[in-house]
Amino acid sequence: MITSRDQVTDMIIATKVRKGLKWAHAAEAIGMSKEWTTAGCLGQMTFDKAQAEALGKLFELPDEAIAWLQIVPYKGSLPTAVPTDPLIYRWYELVNVYGTTIKELIHEEFGDGIMSAIDFSMDIQREPDHKGDRVNVVLSGKFLPYKSY
Protein backbone atom coordinates (compact mmCIF):
# COMPACT_ATOMS: atom_id res chain seq x y z
CA MET A 1 0.00 0.00 0.00
CA ILE A 2 1.48 3.35 -1.08
CA THR A 3 0.32 6.11 1.27
CA SER A 4 2.35 9.12 0.13
CA ARG A 5 4.23 10.56 -2.80
CA ASP A 6 7.46 10.33 -0.78
CA GLN A 7 7.39 6.57 -1.19
CA VAL A 8 7.26 7.00 -4.96
CA THR A 9 10.17 9.44 -4.85
CA ASP A 10 12.13 6.86 -2.88
CA MET A 11 11.38 4.22 -5.53
CA ILE A 12 12.50 6.53 -8.34
CA ILE A 13 15.73 7.45 -6.62
CA ALA A 14 16.53 3.86 -5.68
CA THR A 15 16.10 2.73 -9.29
CA LYS A 16 18.02 5.72 -10.63
CA VAL A 17 21.04 4.87 -8.46
CA ARG A 18 20.81 1.15 -9.13
CA LYS A 19 20.53 1.54 -12.91
CA GLY A 20 22.85 4.55 -13.13
CA LEU A 21 20.24 6.70 -14.87
CA LYS A 22 20.49 10.45 -15.32
CA TRP A 23 17.71 13.01 -14.91
CA ALA A 24 18.31 13.90 -18.54
CA HIS A 25 17.05 10.43 -19.41
CA ALA A 26 13.86 11.09 -17.54
CA ALA A 27 13.42 14.50 -19.17
CA GLU A 28 13.92 12.97 -22.59
CA ALA A 29 11.46 10.20 -21.84
CA ILE A 30 8.67 12.70 -21.31
CA GLY A 31 9.83 15.51 -23.61
CA MET A 32 10.06 18.23 -20.98
CA SER A 33 12.93 20.31 -19.57
CA LYS A 34 15.35 18.61 -17.21
CA GLU A 35 14.54 21.19 -14.50
CA TRP A 36 10.81 20.58 -14.42
CA THR A 37 11.18 16.82 -14.84
CA THR A 38 13.63 16.51 -11.99
CA ALA A 39 11.42 18.58 -9.72
CA GLY A 40 8.53 16.31 -10.62
CA CYS A 41 10.49 13.10 -10.02
CA LEU A 42 11.53 14.50 -6.63
CA GLY A 43 7.88 14.91 -5.69
CA GLN A 44 7.30 18.60 -6.37
CA MET A 45 5.30 18.59 -9.63
CA THR A 46 2.34 16.71 -11.08
CA PHE A 47 2.62 14.57 -14.20
CA ASP A 48 -0.11 13.82 -16.70
CA LYS A 49 -1.01 10.23 -17.56
CA ALA A 50 1.37 9.81 -20.49
CA GLN A 51 4.28 11.31 -18.59
CA ALA A 52 3.59 9.19 -15.54
CA GLU A 53 3.48 6.03 -17.63
CA ALA A 54 6.74 6.87 -19.40
CA LEU A 55 8.41 7.49 -16.06
CA GLY A 56 6.86 4.32 -14.68
CA LYS A 57 8.50 2.38 -17.46
CA LEU A 58 11.86 4.07 -17.05
CA PHE A 59 11.95 3.69 -13.27
CA GLU A 60 10.16 0.31 -13.17
CA LEU A 61 7.33 1.55 -11.00
CA PRO A 62 4.19 -0.41 -10.02
CA ASP A 63 0.79 0.82 -11.25
CA GLU A 64 -0.07 2.30 -7.88
CA ALA A 65 3.03 4.49 -8.05
CA ILE A 66 2.12 5.65 -11.55
CA ALA A 67 -1.27 6.73 -10.21
CA TRP A 68 0.44 8.70 -7.41
CA LEU A 69 2.59 10.60 -9.96
CA GLN A 70 -0.62 12.15 -11.30
CA ILE A 71 -1.73 13.41 -7.88
CA VAL A 72 -0.76 16.92 -6.82
CA PRO A 73 1.88 16.38 -4.12
CA TYR A 74 2.38 18.15 -0.77
CA LYS A 75 5.32 20.29 -1.88
CA GLY A 76 8.51 21.23 -0.03
CA SER A 77 11.67 19.23 -0.63
CA LEU A 78 13.85 20.10 2.35
CA PRO A 79 14.00 18.42 5.76
CA THR A 80 14.73 21.62 7.74
CA ALA A 81 13.68 25.28 7.54
CA VAL A 82 17.30 26.32 7.10
CA PRO A 83 18.89 23.77 4.75
CA THR A 84 22.05 22.00 6.00
CA ASP A 85 23.32 20.88 2.60
CA PRO A 86 26.03 23.33 1.46
CA LEU A 87 24.86 23.58 -2.17
CA ILE A 88 21.28 24.29 -1.18
CA TYR A 89 22.34 26.52 1.70
CA ARG A 90 24.15 28.83 -0.74
CA TRP A 91 20.77 29.53 -2.31
CA TYR A 92 19.23 30.16 1.07
CA GLU A 93 22.15 32.48 1.77
CA LEU A 94 21.42 34.37 -1.44
CA VAL A 95 17.87 34.94 -0.24
CA ASN A 96 19.19 35.98 3.15
CA VAL A 97 21.86 38.36 1.86
CA TYR A 98 20.15 39.62 -1.32
CA GLY A 99 16.52 39.30 -0.22
CA THR A 100 15.91 42.95 0.51
CA THR A 101 17.92 43.95 -2.60
CA ILE A 102 15.75 41.81 -4.85
CA LYS A 103 12.68 43.29 -3.18
CA GLU A 104 13.84 46.86 -3.68
CA LEU A 105 14.79 46.44 -7.33
CA ILE A 106 11.67 44.59 -8.40
CA HIS A 107 9.48 47.13 -6.62
CA GLU A 108 11.45 50.01 -8.18
CA GLU A 109 10.82 48.54 -11.63
CA PHE A 110 7.32 47.10 -11.25
CA GLY A 111 5.69 48.63 -8.17
CA ASP A 112 4.06 46.55 -5.42
CA GLY A 113 3.63 42.87 -6.24
CA ILE A 114 5.63 39.68 -6.50
CA MET A 115 7.58 37.57 -8.97
CA SER A 116 5.54 34.40 -9.37
CA ALA A 117 6.98 31.11 -8.18
CA ILE A 118 4.15 29.30 -9.98
CA ASP A 119 4.13 30.83 -13.45
CA PHE A 120 7.82 30.32 -13.30
CA SER A 121 10.61 28.53 -15.13
CA MET A 122 14.24 27.87 -14.43
CA ASP A 123 17.15 26.99 -16.68
CA ILE A 124 20.47 25.77 -15.29
CA GLN A 125 23.49 25.81 -17.60
CA ARG A 126 27.23 25.32 -17.42
CA GLU A 127 29.15 28.37 -18.60
CA PRO A 128 32.77 27.56 -19.45
CA ASP A 129 35.16 30.09 -17.95
CA HIS A 130 38.94 29.88 -17.88
CA LYS A 131 38.96 31.07 -14.26
CA GLY A 132 36.74 28.13 -13.39
CA ASP A 133 33.44 27.16 -14.99
CA ARG A 134 30.33 28.88 -13.76
CA VAL A 135 26.81 27.77 -12.99
CA ASN A 136 24.42 30.02 -14.87
CA VAL A 137 20.83 30.03 -13.81
CA VAL A 138 18.02 31.94 -15.47
CA LEU A 139 14.89 32.41 -13.43
CA SER A 140 11.81 33.74 -15.15
CA GLY A 141 8.65 34.54 -13.23
CA LYS A 142 5.59 36.53 -14.18
CA PHE A 143 5.20 39.76 -12.27
CA LEU A 144 1.92 39.78 -10.36
CA PRO A 145 0.84 43.22 -9.13
CA TYR A 146 -0.98 43.51 -5.80
CA LYS A 147 -4.65 44.10 -6.48
CA SER A 148 -6.19 47.13 -4.78
CA TYR A 149 -9.92 47.11 -4.25
Residues annotated catalytic, as ranges: 90, 93, 116
User: In the window 51-110, what residues touch its own copies (CB under 8 A)?
Assistant: 64, 67-68, 71-72, 74-110
Q: Which residue, 57 or 77, has its beta carbon nearer to its own copies?
A: 77
Number of residues interacting with its own copies: please give it, by CB under 8 A: 102
Q: Which residue, 57 or 119, has its beta carbon nearer to its own copies?
A: 119
Q: Which of 18, 50, 57, 60 binds its own copies (CB under 8 A)?
A: 18
Q: Of 18, 79, 89, 97, which Cα lies nearest the Cα of 43? A: 79
Query: What single-letter amino acid sits at 44?
Result: Q
Residues 6+ apart with CB under 8 A from 12: 41, 55, 59, 61
Residue 136, interface with its own copies (CB under 8 A)? yes
Measure the CA–CA gap between 128 and 105, rounded to whole angstroms: 29
Residues 6+ apart with CB under 8 A from 75: 43, 44
Closest contact distance (angstroms) between CB of 57 and its own copies is 18
Closest contact distance (angstroms) between CB of 98 and its own copies is 6
Q: Which residue, 54 or 114, has its beta carbon nearer to its own copies?
A: 114
Q: Which residue, 57 or 93, has its beta carbon nearer to its own copies?
A: 93
User: In the window 27-56, what residues touch its own copies (CB under 8 A)?
Assistant: 32-36, 38-39, 42, 44-46
Measure the CA–CA gap between 116 and 130, rounded to whole angstroms: 35
For residue 41, count other CB atoms closer than 10 A to its CB. Answer: 23
